[in-house]
Structure formats: structure tokens, C-alpha cells
Structure 1
């Protein structure tokens, strides 16, 4: 017999869906040359991302990196025989690590990206050597393509898994997933500390760059 159990906390769900909105908005503002808006969105993403990485060490069981870190062999075995899992499956865990890493690279490279404009230049441009700035700018342009490829693969895998095995998309909305009555529900933490950390980081970014950027909107 299957029952619904709470698998994902609010912090994980808000972070997950905020990435969908922010990545789309960042892609649009970057292509349209709306660089003040682009940077403000990037700092918002940075706050959410840093807090999520911290949450991966002290947050709910299913949010912790130690919970879904797996060997490559375990990931291959899972892909050969997929089945519902309470949390990220071994293969999905690798995608999460990849996306978090690529997003981190995108934000760090963006801080040092040169775009021939005081508004759109990253805040670290004036402090770095020209070669480093040039490298960061190239990485920033290339890395977004890698992110979009990973996102596309992630979406297709989630749709396929939801149709064939378990509704992982719905679970990421409601936080609840089907499990057998014998399965032990994962221990979840209250998400208030995640959102408190996001608020602190947003305040820091606002005082550092945000107040100045708002003048150009």
C-alpha cells in the first residue's frame, strides 16, 4: 500500500522553482542588454544559491548533499533500473551537483566579466588583470550554454520519470511523494533559517551593489 509522505521542505522547493524563473529572466535581460536588471537578478540568484549550498550541509535530510551523493556505479545501476526514491535518486544527484557548480561558476565569472560599460561590467573588473577579465568573460558566455543544456536534460528526465515511475514534478510542487507504508519518512527541518540567510545575503548584496544598480533602472 502506498501513502503520501513529506519529502521536500519549503526551502528546497522555493529554491528549485526560483531557478526556473531567474534563469529565464537572466537569459532574457542578458540578450536584451538590460544589464542593471541582469545584475540585480544575478545577485538574487547568488543569495538563493549560497543559502542552498549551506542548507545542503545543515538542512533537511533530503536536502543534504550527503543524502544523495552516490558513486558513479550506483548512478549507472539506477539508470538501468529506475524506481521511486524518497529524495534525489543517485543519477539525479549528479545533475544537482552539476547545476549548482555551473551556477556558481556563472555568478563568479559574471563578477569579473567585461562588457565595455560601467553599468554592465562586473564589480571585480577594475581590480583584476586584463587577462583574468578576458578569461572570465569567455567563461561567462560559454558556461550559460552548458547550464541551458543541463537544464534541458534535467527537464526531460523529470518528465520521463514522472510519466514512467513517480511524479517527481508534482512532488517538487507539493513536497509530498508516494511511498510504501513500511518506508520511513525523511526528517525535515523548518525552513525559516534558510530564508533568514537569504534575507541577510540579499541585504549584503544590496548594500554592495544593488543600491547603485537601482539608479539605472
Structure 2
């Protein structure tokens, strides 16, 4: 049974988030000032998207809400042993999503205070001590590679599920439909618009503060 489980606001968020994180990871490796400007812009975009996702996880679509993101080691084991019926959120997927999202929050937060002590610094760098900025910069550089590793894991899982289990996870995030017995969802563009406005306001404050 194909059921619509991913609302349009969540799907748009997902692909914007992927684009933003990918852009940050690539541009962050360059010392070029022009590339670093794009790095900072995409970083601010990620912060706005994080704010949106937190809001959408509270009052968004049914399966976008955080109360559906529950996982245990037993559930992960049973999933791989094929003991569970098809679910909207697979236990391994939930675990990976929570870890990756948390790492991106840490990375983006550190980037607000990071500096190369030459040309580039986060918008809130001037509000903290050199020691704090140094720690934030250290974290920002190290977490970059951890996130990259988890993204490789995520993409590898997409490939395995598509080829081995015949479950195209990325396609469901395009169409919104998944082969699962669940209640269908509907879009709530009013809530999505309000959440987006809050996200834009947060980013605007950060830009003004910088």
C-alpha cells in the first residue's frame, strides 16, 4: 500500500538541508575568500533550516513530529532481522537522522563563533573570548569530518535499501509516498509559512548581530 507520509514542507526542507550541508562541507575546505562567503551564507541557511525543523518537529505533519522519532537497540536489531512490519520511520533511519541532525546543530553553532584569525569569522565571534572562539573553531574543523562520515553512511544505506530491499528511500522523499500501512497526511501550508517566517527572523537577527 502506497501511503502519503511525507508532507511537502518537510520534503522541501529535506532537499534544502541536504543542499546547504553539502555546500558547507565543500566550501569549508577552501581557503578562498569568495568560497568562504558562500560557506557562511549556506551556514546561515542551515541555521534557518534547523529552526524550521525544530518547529516542524513540534507542530508539523504527523510523521515529521519528534514524538515519532523513537528508537531502541532492540528495534534496530529486529529491523535488520526482518521481524518488523514496514514502518514510516525505520529504527536505523531514526538513529542516523537524530545523530546527524545533532551534529549539524553542533557544527552550525560552533561556526557562529569560529574564526581563522585573518579574514573569516562567524557573526557572533566578537561577542566571545578568544579562548571560546578557539574552542568553537577546533570543534568546527573536527565535526566537519564526522558529519562527512555519517553522510557517507547515509548515502550507502540509501543504495543498499534501494538495491537489496527494493525500498527507494530517496524517491519517497521526492514523491511523499511510501509502501507502508499508515494514516495519510495532508499539507498545512499556513503552519509551514509561519514556521518559515520565524526561521527567517532568527537568521536576520544573526546577520544584524554580525
TM-score normalised over the length of structure 1: 0.85
Task: Give unpaired runs (5+ residues) of structure 2.
Answer: none
The residue correspondences of 1:112-191 to structure 2 (distance < 5 A) are 112-117=113-118, 120-165=120-165, 166-179=167-180, 183-191=181-189
Q: Distance in 2 between matches of 1:132 and 1:207?
A: 21
Residue aligned with 1:31, SS: coil
- Quickly say closer, same or farther: Cα 1:131–1:207, change in 2 above 3 A: closer
For 1:88 and 1:19, how far apart are their aligned partners in 2?
A: 19
Aligned residues: 206
Which runs of 4 or more aligned residues in structure 1 lie more than 6 Å from their structure 2 counterparts after TM superposition? Answer: none
Query: Is the 1:112–1:123 contact (alpha carbons within 8 Å) kept by the matching residues of 2?
Result: yes
Measured in 1, the distance between the counterparts of 2:140 and 2:175 equals 34
1:133 deviation in Å?
A: 1.1
**TM-superposed deviation, 1:191:** 4.0
Greater Cα offset, 165-174 or 196-205: 196-205
CA spacing shift, 1:186–1:68, aligned 2, 3 Å: farther
Query: TM-score, length-normalised on structure 2?
Result: 0.87
For the Cα contact (< 8 Å) 2:88–2:178, is it kept in 1? Answer: no
Q: Secondary structure at the match of 2:114?
A: coil
Do the aligned residues in 1 keep the contact of 2:6 with 2:185 (CA within 8 Å)? no
Aligned to 1:27: 25
Distance apart, 1:9 and its partner CA: 0.6
Root-mean-square deviation (Å)? 2.2
Mark the CA change 1:196 to 1:62 in structure 2 (over 3 Å): closer, same or farther. same
Which shows bigger deviation, 130-139 or 28-37?
28-37
Judge conservation of contact 1:111–1:122 (CA < 8 Å) in 2: yes
**Which blocks of at least 5 consecutive residues in structure 1 are unaligned?**
213-217
Give 1:215's aligned residue. Answer: none
Task: Tell whether 2:92 aligns with 1:91.
Answer: yes
Q: Deviations over 1:5-44 (max 9, x none)?
A: 1011112211211122112221232223322221111111
Distance in 2, matches of 1:95 and 1:18, equals: 18
Give the structure 2 partner of residue 16 of structure 1: 14
For 2:29, what is the secondary structure of its paired residue?
helix
